[in-house]
Amino acid sequence: MKYQCSVCDFSWEGTSYTFDQVREHDKTHKSGVKNGYL
């Protein structure tokens, strides 16, 4: 499986067992950390 973030340059390649890394990354965008709201 592969994933490429549409907001930043984060990419992931792995199995469904390591997909939690993608979920954790998405939380950074939802909380505004990477969106310039610091």
Q: What pLDDT was estimated at residue 38?
A: 43
Q: What pLDDT was estimated at residue 1?
A: 93
Q: What pLDDT was estimated at residue 30?
A: 74
Q: What pLDDT was estimated at residue 31?
A: 64
| 19 touches 1 (CB < 8 A) | yes
Encode pLDDT of 1-38 as tens digits.
999 998 899 999 999 999 999 999 888 877 655 555 44
| 11 touches 4 (CB < 8 A) | yes
The reply to whether the predicted model has a pTM over 0.85 is no
Tokens of 24: 């954790």
Q: What pLDDT was estimated at residue 21?
A: 92
> What CA–CA distance (Å, rounded) separates 22 from 31?
15
